[in-house]
Amino acid sequence: MRIKDDVIRQHHFIHIRCFAHIINLIVVEGLKEIDDSITRVRSIVRYVRASPQRLAKFKAITEQLQIGCSSMLCLDVPTRWNSTYIMLDVAQKYQRAFEQMEVEDEGLRYALLELAGQGLSAPDAHDWTSVRYLIQFLKFFYDITMRIFGSKYTTANLYFSELSELHFHLKNSCADSRGLLSAMTARMKTKYDKY
């Protein structure tokens, strides 16, 4: 008998998908549910970051409002959910500055009118509330990704415990979710069950 023929169940139980990739697929699927709030925040962050003058004006407003956040506004890569998480986490800390900039910056008001023609608007109070709920929910996925994503060490020993924790989190979130996150967690759970 050749060694190649002596395998357990023709390798069916040996192949393990990349856990970080599975998490990415699950979260991207869930984010499709609340894309409008994310798009509104993304558009206002994009506007502020589009020129050094706008960014300087935004920084002046944050100093005037005494917002004690030192994190820099960043624009996400829509296909990478963790960059969306970071963008939203930083942007929500500057909510008052964005609202003040809408009042003071004529260019922003004009840009928002253009967005309104495309069916978009500036983030409103509901969007910021949605973003805060989303950040709290996604923090778990971000933290688990940071724990298992490593290129200088093996993470196979973490796989089962993290997978179990992910399953438990999704199951509880589906049971406890109301309103905003209910459809999102249901989509994520369906995607998780597929893998």
pLDDT for 40-56, tens place per residue? 898 889 888 988 998 99
Q: Give the pair of three-digit tokens for residue 16.
A: 């393990």
Token duo for residue 54:
């706008």
Asked whether residue 85 carries a pLDDT value surpassing 80, the answer given is yes
Q: How far apart are CA 79 and CA 123, in angstroms?
A: 21
Q: What is the total count of domains within the chain?
A: 1
Matching residue, tokens 């200088």:
152
Task: Provide the whole-model pTM.
Answer: 0.78
Residue 1: pLDDT above 50?
no
Question: pLDDT tens digits for 110-169?
Answer: 777 676 666 667 788 888 988 998 898 899 989 888 877 765 555 566 677 777 888 888
Task: For residue 185, name the pLDDT band (cuts at 50, 70, 90).
Answer: confident
Domain hosting 75: range is: 3-194
Token representation of residue 166: 């992910």
pLDDT grade, residue 64 (50/70/90)? very high
